[in-house]
Chains A and B, each alone.
Chain A
Amino acid sequence: MSGRFHAVEIIVNGEAVRERVDARQSIVDFLRDHLGLTGSHVGCEHGVCGACTLRVDGVIVRGCLMLAVQCDGAQVETIEGVSDTGEIADLQAAFEKRNALQCGFCTPGMLLAAQELLRRGGVPSREAIRTHLSGNYCRCTGYQAIVDAVEAVAQARAEGRQ
């Protein structure tokens, strides 16, 4: 069985992590179970709901569809990391102010997905925001408040009011 385990080095939220991981373990399970980074959530484990959304080398991925071994040598960022850097502080504040979350289980993934859109700059249309977020499932809000919050941040950033 030992052949299943592989040494990896992953930079997680800026910290180097050296671990032996089971080849079958997803990166989100690795983050949650080995590192205690429970902000990335597991909702469906088949790549549909988006609750496990993470950033790997700057690009959002489904944490349930990527193996930990595939992240060897990569930079992985989670909601805990981007919260601490302040990168999405304005987006988080807008979500809180607009009540763009209810149970909050989808929220970390939703924020990272929205930030990817916002990083492209400009003010996307509501339709474009809805389309961009259409891979992230929210059962509570009905999405309108989320679209409002993302739109408000896009406008604020475009006006330099961040």
Chain B
Amino acid sequence: MKISDDVAPGLSALDRPNSYIGRSVPRPNLARLTQGRAQFVSDVALPRMAHVAFVRSPHAHARITALETAAANRAPGVIAVVTGAELAKVITPWVGVLTHLKGIKSAPQHAIAVERACWQGEAVCAVVARTRAEAEDGCALVEVTYKELPAVTEAETALDPTTPVIHPALGDNLTFERMHTAGDPDKGFAEAAAVVEAIFVFGRHTGVTNEPRAIVADWNPGEQRLTVYHGTQAPHMMQNLFAKHLGLDEHQVRVVTKDVGGSFGIKVHTYADEMAVVALSKLLRRPVKFVADRIESFVTDIHARDHRVKAKIGVTNDGTITAFEIDDLTGIGPYSVYPRTSGIEANQIVNLTGGPYTCPNYRARARVVFQNKNVMCQYRAVGHPIATAVTEGLVELAAARLGIDPLELRRRNLIPDDGYPCSGPSGIKFEQLSHHECLAHLDAMMNYAGLRAEQARLRERGIHRGIGFASFIEVTNPSAAFYGVGGARITSQDGATVRLDATGAVICHTGVTEQGQGAEAVVAQCVATAFGVPIERVRVITGDTDNTPYGGGTWASRAAGIGGEAAWQAGKALRQNVLAVAGSILQAAPAALDIRNGVVVDADSGRERIGLDEVARIAYFRPDTLPPGFQAELMATRHYVPRAWPFAFTNGIQASYVEVDVESGFVTLIKHWCVEDCGTVINPQLVDEQIRGGVVQGIGAALLEHCLYDEHGQLLNGNMADYLVPMAAEMPDIEVGHVVSPTADSELGAKGAGEAGTAGAPGAVMNAVNDALRGLGAPAITAMPLTPERILRALGRV
């Protein structure tokens, strides 16, 4: 592999000199990371900083009957031992519901359990000490007496009348239920020549961010201010929540987010132990640090994807899909997670299933139930991997039943590329998708016909290879329809402020955040292009509620499409302001001037007129030389929020090529392809790497990752040796292609790309494994992860 230098593609309407849109500009923040000179929250150390460790419930459900803390209080280095009841005087509990998820309910959750622990791993006591090691020593000396309560662990029986109700005040264990019917599904199934049914089971898994959750809270009583160094994806959301539950005004809280060691949706939620940390800092009037260790991470980082979906599809003999039906059941732990709720994943599954296809007949039910396991909430590609695997699993099972090629069946049913705008069967609205063009691109890119021939040749030699596909849609650029309308103070708009510094460089403050996706690079590209300077002259500042425009942060693939557009607009505004100053200096009409490569030039001839450094020098140090009444404004702010569409849907298709060892059940991933359409591609390399990283997370879900619980609600594999994640040796190379359908909702036309890989990969891999096993008499495997054991059981070999 030789890494080739980037070459700018042909000029588009967006292109001006210094255009970086569509170019693989390296991220400006990488050197500090490669040199070990980044600042992750786990690196933060403050004067007088104490460390907290938590005593955590070993039981899935238990009443705390006694808590003896005296010995811990006397331990070396221990500063304070704080119980849930004591901390409840400092921080109020919360309830994770939203009004637009009709009927969703949950119970008040405390920072530290008061009287009762509802899952294995819930904190029941905090020990604050000079060092983390001493805090852990103190935890070992806290004596907690528990009375075990019956644990509700199985979602399947959570609603049975004989099952105990976890929160009696709620009446039952049902968190949320949604029913949806579109068209006439009964008629659709009646018209079908074949109805294929399957039960799809998805293993509960988690994000395993390389840096565990980390927070340092610093309450300064002298300033009456709380500064929180927090590895989060949404600093302003957390500012609001810390203030609200500590009884502070928002302006008393500053959230600072520097480098974040992986997020993937794990770090966009309210965690009880993190709320405890800010409360402890306020209580103890000093900085308190908490970094989850890996064992804590497995039992407290949100889990996701624990769904069982009974599903069916109707097809006519010519392969026309006549109806889809799903019945989804998911267990989300004892609380709906605050503030985004744990109803969103099931809601997304209802929204997205069948979404790529023209079939109008659709019936869906989703039920979300409480259980005594760790909480579940939104993780990368929320609901998409499930909706896609169910839809695409059904499509390939139907294709096999009818004897139609799976790509051909898709061609006959995918929404035509000239059929937009239109709505999906759940009512979701599509501006412009490109399923057919993506499919054609994939077909050629992977040499599908050649692979089928190779598969057949190898099959004769007893080598079982399979090809699987997954067409998908992806929700990006969410408007207020996602959370705001439901009453959550999670902003969907974002802002950028750009300032010409005194040497002619540009400083940009943005409300989106950086967790590795490349938001800083994308924002810099947008500003440099819009304003007209080399990208090296743009410095981007993120992750500080005191110093950035109010914004939502980085999640739901919103940083480029929303934050990028705000930066683009701010860059254009500053350009106008600077040209006004230059025009004033040069006695020229601003419209006759332009900024190119950091120099003010004549727009027509390109002749250099004045450098930005000189404009800045005059405006800042010799404003007395400017005409009377003229005020230079060398700072501009613009905001952006999608308005025309609730979400900017993207689409694409993935293919997986695998080999299954029918003796061992092991799956070898030979190659993976993804063609996707995220609208305007601002930075091709970053988009491709988002896709690749996302695909590998999806492969983890398909083959490896599973939080295994026993019937008592005990997590059996909560460590990195027993919980399997994708490692370098077993992952394939991934080829990525693009189709570009920009959204007209913004000038840049960029949609998101962060979740497409994870959305499609599990379904594609599942279909590939089943394709490899076809003809061997094995029933289709529709339970993930597709472990060697499950494969051998399907083959009847164990």
| Cβ B211 vs Cβ A103 within 8 A | yes
| Cβ B36 vs Cβ A24 within 8 A | no
> Cα distance A152–B208 when bound, in Å?
29
- Contact residues in B for A51 (Cβ distance below 8 Å): 210
Kindly state the interface size class of chain A when it binds its partner: 35 or more
| Chain A CB within 8 A of B1 CB | yes
| Cβ B210 vs Cβ A101 within 8 A | no
- Contact residues in B for A118 (Cβ distance below 8 Å): none
| Cβ B210 vs Cβ A106 within 8 A | yes
| Chain B CB within 8 A of A68 CB | no
| Cβ B293 vs Cβ A149 within 8 A | no
Given the known interface contacts A43-B212, A101-B516, A106-B210, the answer about A155 and B133 at a Cβ–Cβ threshold of 8 Å is no
| Chain B CB within 8 A of A45 CB | yes
| Chain A CB within 8 A of B33 CB | yes
Contact with B along A129-162 (1 / 0, CB 8 A): 1110111111111111111110110010000000
| Chain A CB within 8 A of B547 CB | no
- Contact residues in B for A135 (Cβ distance below 8 Å): 727
Rounded to whole Å, the gap between the CB of B50 and the closest CB of chain A is 14
Rounded to whole Å, the gap between the CB of B169 and the closest CB of chain A is 39
| Cβ B260 vs Cβ A139 within 8 A | no
| Chain B CB within 8 A of A108 CB | yes
- Contact residues in A for B40 (Cβ distance below 8 Å): 38, 41, 105
| Cβ A83 vs Cβ B692 within 8 A | no
| Cβ A134 vs Cβ B133 within 8 A | no
| Cβ B3 vs Cβ A149 within 8 A | yes
Interface centre among B1, B24, B26, B207 (most CB of A within 10 A): B1
> Cα distance A146–B696 when bound, in Å?
14
| Chain B CB within 8 A of A102 CB | yes
| Cβ B516 vs Cβ A103 within 8 A | yes
| Chain A CB within 8 A of B34 CB | yes
Contact with A along B211-240 (1 / 0, CB 8 A): 110000000000000000000000000000
> Cα distance A46–B293 when bound, in Å?
10
> Cα distance A105–B45 when bound, in Å?
18
| Chain B CB within 8 A of A80 CB | yes
| Cβ A78 vs Cβ B517 within 8 A | no
Contact with B along A32-67 (1 / 0, CB 8 A): 110011111111111011010000000000000000
Within 8 A of A (CB), among B681-713: 685-686, 689, 692-697
| Cβ B727 vs Cβ A46 within 8 A | no
> Cα distance A126–B264 when bound, in Å?
27
Rounded to whole Å, the gap between the CB of A157 and the closest CB of chain B is 13
> Cα distance A78–B598 when bound, in Å?
40
Interface set of B (CB-CB < 8 Å, partner A): 1-3, 24, 26-27, 30-31, 33-40, 42-43, 45, 76, 131, 133, 207-212, 259-264, 291, 293-294, 515-518, 685-686, 689, 692-697, 719-721, 725-731, 733-734, 757
Interface set of A (CB-CB < 8 Å, partner B): 1, 22, 24-25, 32-33, 36-46, 48-49, 51, 78-80, 83, 92, 94-99, 101-108, 111, 126-127, 129-131, 133-149, 151-152, 155
> What are 21 A-B pairs with beta-carbon distances under 8 A?
A36-B45, A42-B42, A44-B294, A46-B719, A80-B36, A83-B36, A83-B37, A99-B27, A104-B30, A106-B210, A130-B728, A131-B728, A139-B210, A142-B694, A142-B695, A142-B731, A144-B731, A145-B692, A146-B728, A152-B1, A152-B3
What 14 additional pairs, Cβ within 8 angstroms, besides A83-B36, A143-B728, A144-B734?
A79-B36, A80-B36, A92-B34, A96-B31, A97-B26, A101-B30, A103-B210, A133-B728, A137-B210, A137-B720, A139-B262, A142-B689, A145-B692, A148-B1
Cβ-closest 6 pairs across A and B? A39-B36, A104-B33, A102-B516, A105-B261, A103-B516, A79-B36
